[in-house]
Amino acid sequence: MNFLRDIISRGVFLLISGLIVYILTLKLGFEHKEYNFNDPRKSGLHAFAAVCISIFLITLIIFFISYTGKSNTGVQTSITYNFSIVLLNALLYLIIISPILLTKKFFEQSWASTGVSRHNLKKSIGIGTISGIIFIILSLFYMNININKVITHLNISHFWALLNCAVIGFSEEFMFRGYLQTRLIAWMGKNKGWMAASILMALMHLPQRIFIGKMTLTETLTSMFGLVFFSLFLGYMMIKTENVTAPSIFHALYDWGYTLV
């Protein structure tokens, strides 16, 4: 019951964060442009295939971690983060996104087509940072944790944890928002492309919940529902800012918040 309550509370906080993103994008006057692909259908299918291969790779990695008992990847609160862990995750995610990078290279697609550009960059950094910090504050307040106490207990491990979360956040947002969502939207339309990319991201985390998190069926289904909602929010942020930086920063801060409790 507490698990479900936590999922619901985080959903409410995401709604509040979404409202903040909506207001800020209106006030800051974001420039909007369409992502143009010569053949949207082919680009969408290629992106879907590349991301599916990436999901297969991360599933293999999770099986290996579960089999060996070395659960030092991802976001956890019970370990001490250091440079080695950050480097390991950076290398693992480089392997995971390699099918996307190779596909992008083969079809000579620009970085701008993946949301990695100067387009709305400074404003996107601001929105991602502001909404992420507000989400952390709301979460700490909900858990009745003193913010000043958290700040005073920050140490070098939290610094490495933040870098680790940044690696994970950017890698996953590049995969699902910058690369996949932009192409699915061009092919299927905004709502269908947005939802399809969000569901795929949630499904990618299913093996981690089962084999590393050791969740029950009820907890897994509840967690997946929360992940879809979280992914929809990140997709919405990408749509509003048209730059992968904003969802990447929010994703990193969201994950980092777990290491503060």
Q: How many domains does the chain have?
A: 1
Instruction: Render each residue's pLDDT in the chain as its tens digit; 261 residues.
Output: 577 788 888 889 999 999 999 999 999 989 888 788 989 999 999 999 999 999 999 999 998 888 776 555 556 556 889 999 999 999 999 999 999 999 999 999 999 999 999 999 999 999 999 999 999 999 999 888 999 989 999 999 999 999 999 999 999 999 999 999 999 999 999 999 999 999 999 999 988 888 888 888 788 888 888 899 999 999 999 999 999 999 999 999 999 998 997
H or E segment to which residue 47 belongs: helix 40-68
Q: Is residue 189 part of a domain?
A: yes
pTM to 2 decimal places: 0.94
Q: Is residue 21 part of a domain?
A: no
Q: Is residue 9 part of a domain?
A: no
Q: Is residue 30 part of a domain?
A: no
Q: Which long-range contacts (CB under 8 A, 24 or more apart) does 221-230 make?
A: 222/3, 222/4, 222/7, 223/7, 225/7, 226/7, 226/10, 226/11, 227/201, 227/202, 228/198, 228/199, 228/202, 229/11, 229/14, 230/10, 230/14, 230/202, 230/254
**How confident is the model at residue 90, as a pLDDT?**
97
**How confident is the model at residue 71, as a pLDDT?**
54
Token pair listed for 48: 């879907």
Q: Is residue 3 part of a domain?
A: no
Q: Is residue 163 part of a domain?
A: yes
**Residue-number span of the structural domain to which 194 is assigned:** 38-70+77-110+119-258
Q: Is residue 16 part of a domain?
A: no
**How confident is the model at residue 212, as a pLDDT?**
81
**How confident is the model at residue 66, as a pLDDT?**
80
**How confident is the model at residue 73, as a pLDDT?**
53
Q: Is residue 241 part of a domain?
A: yes
